[in-house]
Chains A and B, each alone.
Chain A
Amino acid sequence: MTRNSRRTLLKSAAAGAAAIGLVGAARGLTGATVSAKGSIETSSAPLVAYVSDARKGEIVVMVGTHEIVRRDAALVARLVAIAKEASDVVAS
């Protein structure tokens, strides 16, 4: 696989992770910019989500200077699957 296509795919994976992270973040984030429909405005602040403990299904969502921890085993399982997909691509 070429460098460009690897990068493209990794970007797609990251975008997927962020989109999934939004669902978890919108429920409990206080003080962040939340639209009337409940979605977080991320145009000005990057959103980062990472799995802090896959065994416990624990994910940390960071946006602006806010940070929340969620337990969501299904979400973490999906992210782990995406990560595995990404690492398989890098290894190939």
Chain B
Amino acid sequence: MSSHREAPEISKDPVADNTDVYAFVDPNDPTKVNLIANYIPFEEPAGGPNFFQFGDDVLYEIKIDNDGDARADVVYQFRFKTRITNPATFLYNTGPITSLTDPAWNLRQKYSVTRISVGHNDEDDEDERERRVLDADLASPPVRIGPRSTPDYPALANAAIHSLNGGVKVFAGQRDEGFFVDVGSIFDLGALRPFQNLHLLPLPPMAGKDGTKGFNVHTIALQVPKTELTRGNSVPLDVLDSKSVIGVWATASRQRGKMHGDDGGSSSAGSWVQVSRLGNPLINEVIIPMSKKDGWNGREPRRDADFAAYYRDPELQNLLPILYPGVFPNLAALLTQPASSRSRDDLVAILATGIPKGVIPGFQNFTGPRIADMLRLNLAIPPASTPSQFGLLGGDTAGFPNGRRVADNVVAIELRAVAGVTLPLVRPSFSADGAASLLTDGTSNEQPYLPVFPYLAHPHEGYEHSHD
């Protein structure tokens, strides 16, 4: 999974589990950028009567670095508050919910959005220069229950897209899980169903199965003018200008102390402690070893240098020739050399520093040599007229790993990169194996994405049971 249940501790705290982050220039208004952070993995749509919701006791944040030091210069904070309007019923709703103010809707959430501008005087200093509440009473839509309870869900959800001052749009609520992956096969000893006849433990090949099909997530989507994010509020026009590149990641934090009351309630005290984070997809999932995953989640990206070895000599790379004997002869030959002589600097660039100028003509999303998990987006690159789901590997510089769009096939892109497709960029003597450029788990999202904000599709109904 991109970052779903990826670490032992956070797998027990789904409300705070950051599953995916997307950042892309808006295809409908290229002066703006969309930042999307998803939480709560594997939401079963029928999971009532206490359906999924954001945590009132969780601090959700989207962070942007605009000067290459992997520290947040702009932070958007989201805080939720739940209200029960009818304490006498066990029901989420006592009739059809036809509007965001419908009295039949019993358990509802509102939220605030706060923008913080942060300055840094030295390595360990953070100076909060401006804190601005953009709005404090925004409605989150209800979850999608079924034809009786939420008969016109798109209308409800669209009413919860809020336009704020300064050309900002925000949405926070349930969405279809837009990330697709054959998780059932991949975590069965790295099998890719379309090629599993070539696996060490072979089975007949078959089409991939999207393990997230029919599940929902909770999405925080923000659309802001690019100049709200850039250094000095500059207009990003030059692709090769470092000021055109931002780093994006999202976090979830909980207060350090939590007390459980005898009445079944709880209260919290203490400073916020980061319990989940995510920039690029699949980093904590696949790159970071199990024993370090919890620690990684609590770490700030600027302190990721300790994990550099896992990018330079990734375990998955070393497993591929073993799991698929004879399929990756060139990679297998490379791996006979000492690890110190075959550092995957291509993966370091793609996933940890950005790609510097001169590697791909007319492109860069380099934020400096500091190793840090941030999703790097060059804001001067316009949206693609014909996007490739393989992003940069498909010749589309507007896609992953230049930011990430909702439809980008990040599983295939990262599989191919790890298998060696991108290694010749830094090691011209290496020829990638033919199989590397074909790797895929064979999945796609089961329903189309929206062509407009918030881009992720409306959620599945509990009633329809769409896993079938």
Contact = CB atoms under 8 A, between A and B. Distances in A.
A65 B259 contact: no
Contact of A46 (B256, B259, B271, B272): B259
Q: Main SS of the interface on chain A?
A: strand
B452 interface: no
Interface string A55-71: 00000101111110000
Contacts of B272: 65
Contacts of B47: none
Interface of A: 7, 45-48, 50, 60, 62-67
B385 interface: no
Interface string B260-291: 00100001111110000000000000000000
Interface in B247-265: 255-257, 259, 262
A63 B268 CA distance: 9
B256 A67 contact: yes
Interface of B: 255-257, 259, 262, 267-272
Contacts of B257: 48, 50, 62
B259 A62 contact: no
Contacts, number: 30
16 contacts: A7-B262, A46-B259, A46-B268, A47-B269, A48-B270, A60-B270, A62-B256, A62-B269, A62-B270, A64-B269, A65-B255, A65-B271, A65-B272, A66-B270, A66-B271, A67-B270
A64 B269 CA distance: 5
Contacts of B268: 46
B312 to A, nearest CB: 36
Contacts of A48: 257, 259, 269-270
Q: Main SS of the interface on chain B?
A: strand
Contacts of A50: 257
Give the interface centre of B257, B259, B262 by most chain A CB atoms within 10 Å: B257
A67 B259 contact: no
Given A62-B256, A62-B257, A67 B271 contact: yes
Given A62-B270, A67-B270, 5 more contacts: A48-B259, A62-B255, A62-B256, A62-B257, A65-B255
Contacts of A64: 269
A10 to B, nearest CB: 11
A3 B28 CA distance: 64
A75 B193 CA distance: 63
B429 to A, nearest CB: 54
Contacts of B267: 46
Contacts of A66: 270-271
Contacts of A63: 269
Nearest to A47: B269
Contacts of B269: 45-48, 62-64
A63 B267 CA distance: 11
A7 B262 CA distance: 10
A65 B257 CA distance: 10
Give the interface centre of A7, A45, A62, A66 by most chain B CB atoms within 10 Å: A62
Give the interface centre of B268, B270, B271, B272 by most chain A CB atoms within 10 Å: B270
A66 B246 CA distance: 31
A46 B269 CA distance: 6
A11 to B, nearest CB: 9
A46 B256 CA distance: 12
Contacts of A45: 269
Contacts of A46: 259, 267-269
Contacts of B262: 7
A64 B57 CA distance: 12
B165 to A, nearest CB: 26
